Amino acid sequence: MKRKEKGRVELERVHTVEAAQNIFTKEEVGIEGDFYPFLVGYHQEEDYTLFLLALKDLDRIYWILAIRKVCAYNRNIRSYFHPAPWNGRKWSCCKKTTKLIDGCQECDSWIPSQTSSPSRDSISESLSNKENFNSSQSSPIMPGGGTPGTPSGKQKDDQSSTTPRSKVVVALYNYKAIETGDLSLEKNMEYEVIDDSQKHWWKVRDSKGMIGFIPSNYVKEKELLGLQQYDWYVNDMSRQRSESLLKHEDKEGCFVVRNSSTKGLYTLSLYTKIPHPHVKHYHIKKNGKGEFFLSEKHCCNSIPELINYHKHNSGGLASRLKTSPCDRPAPATAGLSHDKWEIDHSELMLLDELGSGQFGVVRRGKWRGTTDVAVKMMKEGTMSEDDFIEEAKVMTKLQHPNLVQLYGVCSKNRPIFIVTEYMRHGSLLNYLRRHEQSLSTNQGLLLDMCIQICKGMAYLERHNYIHRDLAARNCLVGTENIVKVADFGLARYVLDDQYTSSGGSKFPIKWAPPEVLNYTRFSSKSDVWAYGVLMWEVFTCGKMPYGRMKNSEVVERVQKGIILEKPKACFKEVYDVMKKCWAPLPENRPSFRILKDTLINVSQGILVD
Ligand code: ADP
């Protein structure tokens, strides 16, 4: 049946198997008689739900139990689910408009009545003989497919005999537990995972038996650790960022290994001062025997072995490999602790002013004396606070290396504070203007900034989140030239008409596509238009789009289809991408996912890896 296959769900990825709400019409499903829907939720890079129909209620129960049985030992089994589908705008069951929000209904228990792991064969045997399968259930079946009297939690605290194998993770960074209930992590140490049902905070046990929550992006499953256990491996870092990092370290023989822009390959980036300070990039190649090499004379079975060899022998490289950059920054956590989004005023120490904007002053701060944060002190009356506070709970769960992390809010006092990740180099717009001289000659770095922003936007697009005010002034720059998108979704809560209505003096007209100017119709595709303008800002090192032109003239131009001119220091291929973002009709603009792939291809075509 391979030819007809449209997709597959791996059993290990299933986290939810439940009866679904029957909101489907007979016309929709094309079935004459009765039908009984159920759903299978699984995680494959992101969450998906497969809705299935049984023709009899009893069949539905059999299917649910059968699938749960073969998945009973999965690691990610959820406690809550949505019993009806996401319709593109909201959940059909609870009407919540945020796709990422936790399920609105508690799941049934999956705990199987047998103590040993059931084999798939035994299930198929059972399915072909329903009597036999049914009798293997020790409890009567409840509506929705559960069994009464069993706990619904999916945690494995009790180490019961139903836990056949535990997941062991290794800490990639140190983490200092501050909030009660959290657990500190020590880099390279192992931890046993007890509960990974929440996406961003897992409950783990350390080697001394201490249990607590840790940020899930600080650890990696031991079996999947691969090169990540080595300090010299920097994952997806681009050529340009690796150059900045190594030049900043300024040490002879300092090196990193990174994923090459060609999938599956790796590149060694090495800093040398001879004859002048520069970075050399070498592809790590593989020979016919599967051995790795930098120069064909010295082949090794693995990349770590190869690195070790070249630590002792330059073997044709510009220098022997000596050190790798230390003290690399740890990523931001989704919230400052598990389930924490309300932050206590008294735990924030406010330091210097970072800038001020539309909503008020932004100050650098320390949370509980240790964690760097930025605190946006919201001028009273500038935003609909209650709605925002509600939304903030969800926004803390949006986590991506190219999005400024929202840690939470202080909403008990006025003015309210929005607490986010601190970004050392401030707004991208000012950064571009400040560093115009060095940046304007480094198109690779500019393109890399655009790709980073595109990655953050592709994440928002995937989660049906619209930014509404994407521009260089709303992106921030951190250490190691990392660029992140900030202030996503905030525009919805602004009360100032001058900002929200397209005729208002503060409305970002120069970043708005025709459908926003005409009908205030925002979508991910209106974000794509703004992204094109942002690319233009990047490649002009922070020029004002359309110069001093009045808003009314800009509107007239956009309506006529006149677009921004090609920035001087910009490859034609890059300008072609901007032009795609400025297609007059939103449906003709590419998605961020496509844009990201296109930009990566462009960078491979015009730059060397
Ligand atoms: P508003 O949203 O009120 O217009 P901004 O977000 O534009 O305010 O912030 C104003 C300035 O404060 C920015 O230009 C930037 O220089 C600084 N800033 C804002 N957030 C951060 C942050 N997370 N880290 C560092 N600097 C920041």
pLDDT, tens digit, 9 for 90 and up, residues 209-220:
999 999 999 999
Instruction: Specify the pLDDT at position 127.
Output: 39
Contact 429, 537 (CB under 8 A): yes
CATH no., domain 345-421: 3.30.200.20
Question: What is the rounded average pLDDT of the residues 49-58?
Answer: 88
pLDDT band at 138 (very low <50, low <70, confident <90, very high): very low
Instruction: Specify the pLDDT at position 339.
Output: 82
If one compares 101 and 137, the residue with the highest pLDDT of the two is 101
Tokens read off for 34: 């009765």
Q: Which of 348, 407, 427 to mutate to test the pocket of ligand 1 (most atoms within 8 A of CB)?
A: 427
CB-based pocket (< 6 A), ligand 1: 354-360, 362, 374, 404, 420-423, 426-427, 473, 476, 486-487
Q: Determine the 3-state secondary structure of 295 from DSSP.
A: coil
pLDDT band at 140 (very low <50, low <70, confident <90, very high): very low
Region of 444 please: left (phi>0), alpha (psi -120 to 50) or beta: alpha
Contact 527, 461 (CB under 8 A): yes
Most confidently predicted of 73-87, 357-371, 493-507, 527-541: 527-541
Contact 160, 171 (CB under 8 A): no
Identify the active-site residue in 182, 195, 448, 469: 469
- Give 306-349 pLDDT, tens digit per residue: 999 999 999 989 999 999 998 788 999 999 998 888 999 999 99
C-alpha angle 234-236-238 in degrees, rounded to nearest 5: 95
- Please give the DSSP secondary-structure letter assigned to residue 591: P
Which of 2.60.120.10, 3.20.10.10, 1.10.510.10, 3.90.1640.30 is the CATH number of 428-606?
Answer: 1.10.510.10
Question: What is the rounded average pLDDT of the residues 59-71?
Answer: 87
Q: CA 496, CA 324: separation in Å to the nearest integer?
A: 50
Instruction: Specify the pLDDT at position 279.
Output: 96
- Please give the DSSP secondary-structure letter assigned to residue 370: T
Average pLDDT, the chain: 86
pLDDT band at 282 (very low <50, low <70, confident <90, very high): very high
Which of 2.30.30.40, 3.90.79.10, 1.10.1370.20, 1.10.579.10 is the CATH number of 168-227?
Answer: 2.30.30.40
Q: CA 488, CA 453: separation in Å to the nearest integer?
A: 12
Instruction: Specify the pLDDT at position 609.
Output: 53
**Gap from CA of 358 to ligand 1 centroid (Å):** 9
Instruction: Specify the pLDDT at position 139.
Output: 37
- Give 409-421 pLDDT, tens digit per residue: 999 988 999 999 9
CATH no., domain 232-312: 3.30.505.10
| Atom number, ligand 1, closest to the C-alpha of residue 423 | 24
Tokens read off for 21: 């709400």
Q: Distance between the two ends of the chain, CA-based, in angstroms?
A: 41
pLDDT band at 117 (very low <50, low <70, confident <90, very high): very low
Q: CA 71, CA 120: separation in Å to the nearest integer?
A: 10
Contact 564, 545 (CB under 8 A): yes
If one compares 283 and 122, the residue with the highest pLDDT of the two is 283
- Give 250-259 pLDDT, tens digit per residue: 999 999 999 9
Question: What is the rounded average pLDDT of the residues 380-389?
Answer: 87
Residue type, 89: R
Most confidently predicted of 18-32, 51-65, 152-166, 436-450: 436-450
Q: CA 1, CA 7: separation in Å to the nearest integer?
A: 12
| Atom number, ligand 1, closest to the C-alpha of residue 490 | 2
pLDDT of 278 above 50: yes
- Binding-site sequence positions: 376
**Gap from CA of 473 to ligand 1 centroid (Å):** 8
**Gap from CA of 605 to ligand 1 centroid (Å):** 35
- Pick the range with the lowest mean pLDDT from 72-76, 79-83, 147-151, 525-529: 147-151
Residue type, 469: D
| Atom number, ligand 1, closest to the C-alpha of residue 474 | 7
Backbone angles phi, psi at 435, to 5 degrees: -105, 25
Which of 2.30.29, 1.10.287, 3.10.620, 2.20.25 is the CATH number of 11-159?
Answer: 2.30.29
If one compares 353 and 21, the residue with the highest pLDDT of the two is 353
Residue nearest to atom 19 of ligand 1 (CA): 362
Q: CA 37, CA 55: separation in Å to the nearest integer?
A: 9
Strands (E), 158-200: 167-171, 190-195
**Gap from CA of 357 to ligand 1 centroid (Å):** 7
- Sorted by where each begins, the domain ranges of the chain are 11-159, 168-227, 232-312, 345-421, 428-606
**Gap from CA of 374 to ligand 1 centroid (Å):** 8
pLDDT of 523 above 90: yes
Question: What is the rounded average pLDDT of the residues 453-469?
Answer: 95
Instruction: Specify the pLDDT at position 209.
Output: 95
Between 239-249 and 443-462, two packed helices, what is the crossing angle to 10 degrees? 120
Tokens 């970072």 belong to: 354
Contact 309, 321 (CB under 8 A): no
**Gap from CA of 404 to ligand 1 centroid (Å):** 11
Instruction: Specify the pLDDT at position 495.
Output: 79
pLDDT of 398 above 80: yes
- Is residue 206 annotated as a catalytic residue, yes or no? no
Percent of the chain with pLDDT over 70: 89
**Gap from CA of 351 to ligand 1 centroid (Å):** 14
- Binding-site sequence positions for ATP: 376
Q: CA 247, CA 243: separation in Å to the nearest integer?
A: 6
Most confidently predicted of 62-66, 377-381, 550-554: 550-554
- Give 425-452 pLDDT, tens digit per residue: 999 999 999 999 999 999 999 999 999 9
Question: What is the rounded average pLDDT of the residues 503-512?
Answer: 87
Instruction: Specify the pLDDT at position 608.
Output: 56
112-115 own/partner pairs: CB under 8 Å, 24+ apart: 112/68, 112/69, 112/72, 112/162, 113/137, 113/138, 113/139, 113/147, 115/161, 115/162
Instruction: Specify the pLDDT at position 107.
Output: 83
Q: CA 270, CA 372: separation in Å to the nearest integer?
A: 31
Q: CA 239, CA 260: separation in Å to the nearest integer?
A: 8
